[in-house]
Chain A
Amino acid sequence: MSAKAEPSQGSARATPEVARAGSSEFVRVEGVTKKFGSFTAVDDVSFSIDRGEIFSLLGGSGCGKTTILRMLAGFETPTRGRVWIDGQDMTDVPAYERPVNMMFQSYALFPHMSVEKNIGYGLKHEKMSKAQRGDRVREMLDLVQLTGLSERKPHQISGGQRQRVALARALARSPKLLLLDEPLAALDKKLREQTQFELMNIQDRTGVTFIVVTHDQEEAMTLSSRLAVMDKGRIMQVGTSTEIYEYPGNRQVAGFIGSINFFDARVIRRNGDLLRLDVPDLGGEVDAAAIDGVSSGDEVTLAVRPEKLVINRARPDETNRTLGTVEGLAYFGKDSLYRVRLPGGNLVSAMSVNSRRAGENERVADWEDQVWLSFAASSAIVLTS
């Protein structure tokens, strides 16, 4: 749980220091715990977000993502810990006084109001003339491309349109911080991808800081500048998509994001930037990028992503190599997934991009073929927990 706070802070990972441009802390969540009765929904969570970021909370259903958003919006009070927004302690400020707006998972559009009234609702509390309000509503309708539907009631528009009304309503008051709870979950795949880019576009134009809750890792990685991976009320790691994917802090994060092959390993010695490991399943010694905090004899986990495993017909020159038999093959068009049985009995996944056009019998490898798998030392992830 070393990566609870800032990325790489105190963690034993060889994380490259990614400079965050124009870094200025905007949201700070500090040691926040939320209990419902005896059940701990959010457990000692801390993170901070910069102005203008799209920050994602990623995790399975029931891990406490919505509860964190609700504490930021002001619908729940933390049992312990504090919440700062734009330098102000907001922990005990009621929802209606926070410079924050939320887009609800179910959209929560007012059924008795037209699209226009829904979007303009929050503006009633602003010091604005009626004409200014009308202009702002039109501007919002334009932003989400719903200009023709202003008179409709929510039940008279489609799901995708409702989603955009909810977004426009949340943006209308120009909040400093926009909270989006699974904004795309109710949309079908095509609309979801399209809307993802629209969201990023809107964030770019408005400059509002976004916090997005999602259980879809691809969505989190596409959308966000940084993300927090959660499990059972705790944050396991915070970082950019690349950091989380390429430099996971522990086995759980590595397994949660994308697919990965794990091998039990033992540290032999450190060789400068490399770590020499004994991996019985790979039939001997391999090299991996070194991490701090391990010494000879430590039991660690070696993790390699399927696309980092190269399939060779002939014996490759790399140190990190092993022989195996193709047991399964899935062709996806742009790439293919191979399931390879190692001599030790492990079944590993290797992904190979189909960069050349090849017929049925011209593949890199086929069922029952003997192949060599190899991977670069720099692609190997060493995990201590």
Chain B
Amino acid sequence: MSAAPTTLRRLRRWFNRKGWGQITIATPYIWLLALFLVPFVIVFAMSFATRTPTAPPFSFGGENPILNWENYRRLFTDTLYIRAYLTSIANAAMATVMCLLIGYPMALGIARSSRSWRNILLMLVILPFWTSFLLRVYAWMGLMGTNSWFNKLLTSFYNGIVPDDWALSYIPMMNTNFAVVLVTVYSYLPFMILPLYANLEKLDLQLDEAAMDLGSRPLRVFWDITLPQSIPGIIAGGMLVFIPASGELIIPSLVGSSSQPMIGRVISDEFASARDWPMASAVSVALLVLLVVPLMLYTHYESKAQRQAQKRAEEGQ
């Protein structure tokens, strides 16, 4: 009967002796090292290799230089890449702003609704995740197609408000940056709403009352009290939309313009079609640098806010 506790004790002793505690703590770092840093070092190294018709299709040294800067030189001289970066960033930025404009009122609405409604509304926000992402993009392709009811509806609406000689038989939506932004906004909206909601839900409504008491009308209260306090939420939501949206591959491939490729598409093409792994690597490294800078800014801001909150909590005691 006493076997079980003894075994347990022995197990625990073994666990402690072997330093599993430290390993548990180290797990996220191991994760980061194995699944981010190591692959990144490989990609980074590969970006200095030379493309060869071998398998794998690259090599270092031999008749080629060990550090081949050619890929980076091309990155900055070939307008294809620069244009792709600009298109990506423009589309992602546009989508982020749209997500913010649509998501903020939604998040605020959810945060200010009654407790019993909140969970239902949040459920509805994440409900689209229950169907395949690809399927939803295909659905949009159907809606935007020249013969869809959606397009016809928009076209008749458009024709109704513009002069007759501007009339269109359909609105060309598919394969445009507009389509990319539209589908990106649709797909990433929950990533904007959820952090914003988490932020807005915590705000003290008594502060709104205090501002109103001091003479501010509701819109003014929002501008002076709610908005400044929700900046951390805006930044978090913005990052969660902007970063993946700028590297997005599927949306631009399916609904985007082929003459204005986005950077995800370029990486994919270089890697798969052109079999130019070193060039694909260089493009990836450059994208990463482009995205890491805002991420670092965000982390800096976040940790500062956290330190402030902690300080406030300590003083409150």
User: Which chain A residues have a beta carbon within 8 Å of chain B's beta carbons?
Assistant: 73-75, 94-96, 100-102, 104, 106, 108-112, 121-122, 124-126, 155-156, 169-170, 173
Contact = CB atoms under 8 A, between A and B. Distances in A.
A104 B208 CA distance: 12
Interface in B196-240: 204, 206-207, 209-217, 224-225, 228-229
Given A155-B311, A155-B312, A155-B315, A111 B229 contact: yes
A96 B206 contact: no
B113 interface: no
B308 interface: yes
B213 A110 contact: no
A166 to B, nearest CB: 9
Interface footprint category on B = 20 to 34
Nearest to B225: A110
20 contacts: A75-B212, A95-B209, A96-B215, A96-B216, A96-B217, A100-B213, A104-B206, A104-B210, A106-B206, A110-B207, A110-B210, A110-B211, A111-B229, A111-B312, A124-B216, A125-B214, A155-B315, A155-B316, A156-B315, A170-B213
A88 B211 CA distance: 23
- The prevalent SS among residues of B at the interface is helix
A96 B204 CA distance: 18
B209 A122 contact: no
B216 A108 contact: no
B228 A108 contact: no
A108 B311 contact: no
Contacts of B209: 73, 75, 95, 104, 108
Contact of A73 (B213, B217, B225, B229): B213
Nearest to A155: B312
Contact of A121 (B211, B228, B311, B312): B211
A367 B204 CA distance: 56
A173 B206 contact: no
B216 to A, nearest CB: 6
Nearest to B218: A96
Contacts of A104: 206, 209-210
Contacts of A102: 210, 213
Given A111-B229, A112-B229, A155-B315, A101 B207 contact: no
Contacts of A75: 209, 212-213
Nearest to A110: B207
Interface in B283-317: 308, 311-312, 315-316
A102 B214 CA distance: 8
Contacts of A125: 214-216
A121 B216 CA distance: 9
Nearest to A97: B215
Contacts of B216: 96, 124-125
| CB-CB nearest 6 A-B residue pairs | A122-B214, A125-B215, A108-B210, A155-B312, A108-B206, A95-B212
Given A96-B215, A110-B207, A112-B228, 10 more contacts: A73-B209, A74-B212, A75-B213, A96-B213, A108-B204, A108-B207, A108-B209, A108-B210, A111-B229, A121-B214
B288 to A, nearest CB: 34
A111 to B, nearest CB: 7
B7 to A, nearest CB: 51
A74 B210 CA distance: 11
Contacts of A173: 214-215
Contacts of A74: 212-213
B231 to A, nearest CB: 9
A173 B212 CA distance: 13
Contacts of A106: 204, 206
A169 B214 contact: yes
A110 B214 CA distance: 12
A73 B214 CA distance: 10
A101 B211 contact: no
Contact of B308 (A96, A101, A121, A155): A155
Contacts of A101: 213-214
A210 B229 CA distance: 31
Contacts of B225: 110
Contacts of A95: 209, 212-213
Nearest to B203: A111
Contacts of B214: 96, 101, 121-122, 125, 169, 173
B92 to A, nearest CB: 29
Given A104-B206, A112-B228, A112-B229, A96 B212 contact: yes
A349 to B, nearest CB: 38
Contacts of B213: 73-75, 95-96, 100-102, 170
Contacts of B215: 96, 122, 124-126, 173
A102 B228 CA distance: 23
B291 to A, nearest CB: 29
Contacts of B311: 155
A342 to B, nearest CB: 49
Nearest to A179: B213
Nearest to B313: A155
Contacts of A121: 211, 214, 224
A99 B5 CA distance: 72
Contacts of B228: 112
B160 to A, nearest CB: 40
A300 to B, nearest CB: 46
A104 B212 CA distance: 13
Q: Which of B210, B225, B228, B312 has the most CB of A within 10 A?
A: B210
A84 B216 CA distance: 22
A164 to B, nearest CB: 16
A121 B210 CA distance: 10
A173 B207 CA distance: 17
Nearest to A125: B215
Q: Which of B215, B216, B224 has the most CB of A within 10 A?
A: B215
Contacts of B316: 155
A181 to B, nearest CB: 10
Nearest to A122: B214
A17 B75 CA distance: 94
Contacts of B206: 104, 106, 108
A170 B211 CA distance: 11
Contacts of B315: 155-156
